[in-house]
Structure 1
Amino acid sequence: MAGKRSIFEDVGQGAKPAEGPQGGMIDKGRGGARGAIRVWLAVLFALVVAMIAVGGLTRLTDSGLSITEWRPITGALPPMDEAAWQAEFEKYQESPEFQIQNRLMDLAAFKTIYWWEWGHRQLGRVIGLVWAAGFVFFWATKRLPAGWTGRLLGLGALGGLQGAIGWWMVASGLTGRMVDVASYRLAIHLGIAFVILGLIAWYILSLARRDSELLQARRSREAKLFALSTGVMHFAFLQILLGALVAGIDAGRAFPTWPLMGESFFPADAFYLPDGGPVVLAFFENPGLVQFTHRMAGYLMFAFGLFAWWRARGSAHPATRTAFDWMAAMLFGQLVLGIVTVLHAAPLALGLVHQLGAVVLWVLILRARHRAQYPIVATIRGRK
């Protein structure tokens, strides 16, 4: 006679597994090299993060206009002798930035800013080559999972668009009325970088599980929590764009006080523009108003993010709750870091750390959103 079984014993525990392929019909066919593709995407992810960091340093060091031509192929080679360096310097001397802001700059100082911009563009070329080499390899060897060709091809298309927008941004500071790149073009450039980074992160998370697992997990999706995390994601993207506007006109150094801006809540002369123009331009070009907008959006995002975290406490899935815990912790850390950056008038190091903090927060928000969409279900014993 069979012995008694514990009421907590899993059904079928100890039974011989059924013969045949595992994972169900949805996993049949071309499963692809999911692990290898994740490694490739992780390399691209690291390169894009480095690109964002170098781009931030290029902007904060006023190096972005040092190369006045867009040569996608021949521009990969820097000046090789003093005559070539002098020729590049003479091109820069024709720019408004040099004539208005850097007239005392010599060739040695020019080389410093040139290398920052050259490194930024070179890193973009490396990213393009890594993407192309990986995509062609996985496509030619038929290792792309079913349904992933268009997604991964789209990453390359966005990368190419990003290069063109980068030049469009630089061109605004070479012939326009500004001595720096136009801040709204900088915001678009940074925004697309975060879109690319977010897609890579989402793809890495999705490729970590089989299609059958994702389909089954989606049946347990927490729709309200997914909607809240989507709202936090959109709020974060808006805040990233506003941060680019701050960096574009050095607005982070305008009011090194907190919680007030100077001696008042709202900055004085918020709608003043030295060159006149429509009032709406103050939201892009007045340092006080730009910083004020970034501050207010940060407070609202923090409050909304905490509300999403509070709602996530009721999730039945431990992995989802943990993901929202990390998101909330980084929300608080990024808020504190922003305040410290303002109080120190946005020095180079703090400005860069704050930007990288936005990268970490962005990824943690996407991870929490992915967990809400595709929960990792745990049994009563805690096994996934």
Structure 2
Amino acid sequence: MRVTGSAALRPVTAWLYICAAVVFAIVVIGGITRLTRSGLSIVEWKPVSGVVPPIGETEWQAEFEKYKATPEYRLVNHTMTLPEFKNIFWWEFIHRIFARLVGVIFLLPFLWFLVRKRIDRPLALRLGVIFALGGFQGVLGWYMVKSGLVNDPHVSHLRLTSHLMTAVLIYALMLMTAWSLETRPRVQGSRAFAWANVILVFVMMASGALVAGLKAGKMYNTFPLMNGQYFPQGALGFSPVLSNFSDNPIMVQFLHRNFAYGLGVFFFWQLWRERKNVSLNHPLAWIVMAYLLQFLLGVFTLLKAVPVSLGALHQANALILFTATLFLLARRPHAA
């Protein structure tokens, strides 16, 4: 039987917040790993023994020799030195360590809360689903890496998108579960709009993942037009036509830009619509501010052809914007 009352559940809530914060860090580190082209530096998946990095020059050289056998080294990084390899190795290693860390941070307290009967069955099942998703995410990460250990040394953009969005889903479930255990005043407003905000930002993040996976941000580095055109040539150049929407970097960038425009219109319209609703306009204002920052980061990231710093900030703030939409949904908007 679960200990009732929000005060009694504070340890559970705090634990979920910590887990969500670690997942946030994993997403940002994963973005840096991708931007620095570090994701294919570790060519083996060792869930247990992989927690220990190479020690000494002999082990480092052995690890480097494994990387030298990959297509990425032969086709892209054939002039790379051991010190340069260490730089990309550490980003991927840290990313994997944080992924293992969140598994431990989640599982051990979860078992303790179960044994001490601090959570009831419905909550335990929900937490079990989150843990299972975490395990699936680990497998999905390796599945993504394997797609780049081939003659074309680039990870599948579809697998990369799946990997990122599964992490975002886990993050959302952790936060929403934590907020559901707290007592917060409900706000007056449309629950349908709150859900729409969450879903649309989720879709926008998936669109951004496709842009990243296809390296579409490295082309058409102009704004507001795409090299002087609104709808650029080549956007429908793939066959069949539907493949343009997932595989054509020109179309994917076009869609991401225009999705951002539409999302901004939707957010500002809501803010204007609820301008007299004191309980709702503050959460909406946070969403709009996060959106404006995200828009500016996106523009500067594009104009600078995706430097690591701006690319990482753009990905991190996307998660902040998503968090703002989740928080509004967690306030359980209801009609007057």
TM-score, structure 1 as length reference: 0.81
Structure 2: unaligned runs, 5 residues or longer:
none
Distance across 2 between alignment mates of 1:319 and 1:121: 41
Distance 1:372 1:75 in 2: 43
Alignment correspondent of 1:16: none
Deviation of the 1:145 alpha carbon: 4.7
Corresponding residue number in structure 2 for 1:183: 157
Deviations 1:27-84 (A, max 9, x none): x973173111111111111101110110000000000001111111111111123222
Between structure 1 and structure 2, the one with the greater Rg is 1
1:49 aligns with 2:24: yes
Indicate whether 1:84 and 2:55 are aligned: no
Query: What is the rounded CA distance, in whole Å, between the counterparts of 1:372 and 1:36 in structure 2?
Result: 23
- Sort the Cα spacing of 1:371 and 1:349 in 2 relative to 1 into closer, same or farther, 3 A: same
| Structure 2 counterparts to residues 236-255 of structure 1, below 5 A | 236-255=201-220
Once residues 204 and 29 of structure 1 are traced to their aligned partners in structure 2, the CA distance between those partners, rounded to angstroms, is 15
Greater shift in the superposed pair: 87-96 or 239-248: 87-96
Q: What is the count of residue pairs matched by the alignment?
A: 334
1:300 aligns with 2:275: no
The one-letter code of the counterpart of 2:72 is E
Instruction: Indicate yes or no: 2:272 matched with 1:310.
Output: yes
Structure 1 residue aligned with 2:232, among 242, 248, 267? 267
1:287 aligns with 2:249: yes
Conservation of the 8 A alpha-carbon contact between 2:2 and 2:120: no
Q: Distance in 2 between matches of 1:361 and 1:291?
A: 20
- Residues 1-384 of structure 1 aligned to structure 2 (within 5 Å): 30-31=3-4, 33-145=8-120, 147-175=122-150, 177-209=151-183, 222=189, 225-272=190-237, 278=240, 280-313=242-275, 315=277, 318-373=278-333
What CA distance in whole angstroms lies between the structure 1 residues aligned with 2:153 and 2:231?
A: 27
Please say if residues 217 and 306 of structure 2, whose CA atoms lie closer than 8 Å, have aligned partners that are also in contact: yes
Structure 2 CA distance for aligned equivalents of residues 272 and 348 of structure 1: 30
Evaluate the alpha carbon distance shift between residue 232 and residue 258 of structure 1 in structure 2; reply closer, same or farther with a 3 A threshold: same
Deviation at 1:333, TM superposition (A): 2.0
CA distance in structure 2 between the partners assigned to 1:145 and 1:365 by the alignment? 28
AA aligned opposite 2:235: A
* 1:105/1:371 CA distance change after superposition, 3 Å: same
- Seen in structure 2, the aligned counterparts of structure 1 residues 322 and 343 have a Cα distance that, compared at 3 Å, is same
TM-score by length of 2: 0.92
Change (3 A) 1:370 1:364: same
- The 2-side partners of 1:162 and 1:354 are apart by 22
For 2:203, the aligned partner's letter is L
For residues 203 and 56 of structure 1, the distance between their equivalents in structure 2, rounded to whole angstroms, comes to 25
1:154 alignment partner, SS class: helix
Cα displacement string for residues 275-316 of structure 1 (whole angstroms, at most 9, x for unaligned residues):
xx755444344332221111011111111222333333354x
d(CA) in 1 for partners of 2:237, 2:47: 39
Instruction: Give the Cα separation in 1 of the matches to 2:93 and 2:161.
Output: 20
Question: What is the alpha-carbon distance in structure 1 between the residues aligned to residue 124 and residue 98 of structure 2?
Answer: 25
CA contact (8 A) 2:191 2:334 kept: no
Name the CA distance, whole Å, in 1 between partners of 2:214 and 2:195. Answer: 30
Kept after mapping to 1: 8 A contact 2:145/2:155 = yes
Deviations along 1:98-141, one digit per CA (max 9) or x if unpaired, are: 12111111221111111110110000010000001110111111
User: CA distance change for structure 1 residues 73 and 199 in 2, over 3 Å: closer, same or farther?
Assistant: same
Sequence identity of aligned pairs in percent? 37
Q: Which amino acid is the alignment partner of residue 331 of structure 1?
A: Y
The gaps in structure 1 that reach 5 residues or longer are 1-27, 378-384
Q: Given that residues 162 and 192 in structure 1 are in contact (C-alpha distance below 8 angstroms), is that contact kept between their aligned partners in structure 2? A: yes
In 2, the alpha carbon distance for the partners of 1:179 and 1:298 equals 30
Runs of 4+ in 1 over 6 A off after TM superposition: none
**Do 2:211 and 2:249's aligned partners in 1 also have CA atoms closer than 8 Å?**
yes
Q: Which amino acid aligns with 2:328?
A: A
